[in-house]
Amino acid sequence: MLNARTAHTTIKDIAKQLGVAPSTVTKALKDYPDVSEGMKEKARGLAKKMGYLPNSVAQSLQSGETTTIGVIVPEIKHHFFSAALDGIEEVAFKEGYSIFVCKSNEDYEREVINTRNLLSHFVAGIIVSISQHTKDVGHFIDVQARKIPLVFFDRVSDEIAANKVVVDDRAGASSAVAHLIESGYKRIAHLAGPDYLNISKERLKGYAAALKKAGIPFNADYLIYGGFDEEDGVHGFKRLMKLRPRPDALFCVNDPVALGVLLECKKRKVRVPEELAVVGFSDNPVVSQIDPPLTTVAQPAYEMGAVAAKMLLQQIRHGNGDFVPEVIKLKTKLMIRKTT
């Protein structure tokens, strides 16, 4: 039937209904001047009725241009990455671009597959925050070798020259630990992220710098490397509680790790902040609603995404001819609440 929508309506289907050549329909839908206005109206009307959608990949192959941006994030369940995606999408939409989002699920192999899939869809550029297990960035070097614009945000790699958007992780961590010291805590431990990731290194440096400035010796037993999830907070907390003397404060690499610590404190009836102070990093909305509300370092997630999108679009417009990689560093803010 003329008004029936099909799952894969093609130019040939429309042409058959109109009794014309497929090339005529293509020209009509693209508003070519050598096609009559009457034919253009018929083709557009029928295309709408039949639910025709243009094949963007095929069009990209023909024109050499695309308005799709690929985005790879480790996960979306926590607020930081969903807020960053909002920033990316808003900027992209205003400039006539759409985004194609992939989730690595904190898995290196999946991140590699995501990257290849985006390349096969002929995206105009890629924005990425690497997984916590990514040590080899060869798949991103391949992206650059293909002259595809690439921007990293939040979790970045020092091994690849590309545009990057980060926060001042070192200063943010230092301010958090300085606050703990000013509040009277002396035995401050750090639940760090993977030791090979840039954000883990920078936050550890901020932690160590604050201790040094206050004249507090660095205790290697109070440093535990882990991941970025709540269970990492639970495991780290259990290890630290076996130490003598126990830490009286914890600076956690991010909010999910801090939440894992707080859950374990409730289970073991450890009073926060009387027996143990806890600080996170990110300022996910949920942490201000829990009991007690979490002291944390706020990151401008939406702004990071927006800035990353602007950098990518600028690179797309200007090409790679005179491209010089840039690192934009945004400020953090200490949010003092009841856990300290």
Q: Is the pLDDT score of 51 beyond 90?
A: no
Beta strand 295-298 pairing with 333-335: antiparallel
* 338 DSSP assignment: T
The pLDDT value recorded for residue 190 is: 98
Q: Is the pLDDT score of 163 beyond 50?
A: yes
Place of tokens 């009794």: 19
Place of tokens 């290849």: 116
Q: Is the pLDDT score of 121 beyond 70?
A: yes
Place of tokens 């992780």: 169
Cα–Cα nearest to 127, from 170, 91, 78, 172: 91
Helices and strands in the chain, H and E counts: 12, 12
Higher-scoring residue by pLDDT: 13, 105: 105
Q: Is the pLDDT score of 318 beyond 60?
A: yes
The backbone torsions φ and ψ at residue 315, rounded to the nearest 5 degrees and listed phi first, read: -70, -40
pLDDT digits (tens, 9 = 90+) for 264-316: 999 999 999 999 999 999 999 999 999 999 999 999 999 999 999 999 999 99
Strand partners, 295: 279
Q: Is the pLDDT score of 3 beyond 80?
A: no
Give me the torsion for CA of 164, 166, 171, 175, rounded to 10°.
180
The pLDDT value recorded for residue 35 is: 87
The pLDDT value recorded for residue 272 is: 98
Tell me if 332 sits within 8 A of 297, measured CB to CB.
yes
Tell me if 154 sits within 8 A of 131, measured CB to CB.
no
Task: Determine the average pLDDT of the residues in 230-245.
Answer: 97
* Lookup: tokens for 215: 């004249």
Distance from C-alpha of 318 to C-alpha of 322, rounded to nearest angstrom: 8
The pLDDT value recorded for residue 48 is: 86
Amino acid at 148: I
Beta strand 295-298 pairing with 150-153: unpaired
What is the pLDDT confidence band of residue 57, given thresholds at 50, 70 and 90? low
The pLDDT value recorded for residue 134 is: 96
Q: Is the pLDDT score of 75 beyond 90?
A: yes
The pLDDT value recorded for residue 6 is: 43
Cα–Cα distance list, 295 to 33, 224, 238, 252, 309 (Å): 64, 20, 21, 11, 30
What is the pLDDT confidence band of residue 65, given thresholds at 50, 70 and 90? low
Domains of the chain with bracketed CATH: 11-54 (no CATH), 66-166+301-330 (3.40.50.2300), 169-298 (3.40.50.2300)
* 218 DSSP assignment: P
DSSP secondary structure string, 232-272? HHHHHHHHHTTSSSPPSEEEESSHHHHHHHHHHHHHHT--T
Q: Is the pLDDT score of 327 beyond 80?
A: yes
- 3 state SS of 324: coil
Tell me if 296 sits within 8 A of 258, measured CB to CB.
yes
Q: Is the pLDDT score of 59 beyond 60?
A: no
CB atoms under 10 Å from CB of 231, counted, come to 13
The pLDDT value recorded for residue 175 is: 98
What is the pLDDT confidence band of residue 325, given thresholds at 50, 70 and 90? very high
> pTM above the 0.85 mark?
no
Distance from C-alpha of 19 to C-alpha of 12, rounded to nearest angstrom: 10
Higher-scoring residue by pLDDT: 243, 58: 243
Cα–Cα nearest to 261, from 236, 240, 233, 241: 233
The pLDDT value recorded for residue 31 is: 83
- 3 state SS of 292: coil
Q: Is the pLDDT score of 56 beyond 60?
A: no
* Lookup: tokens for 297: 């370092």
* Lookup: tokens for 30: 């693209």
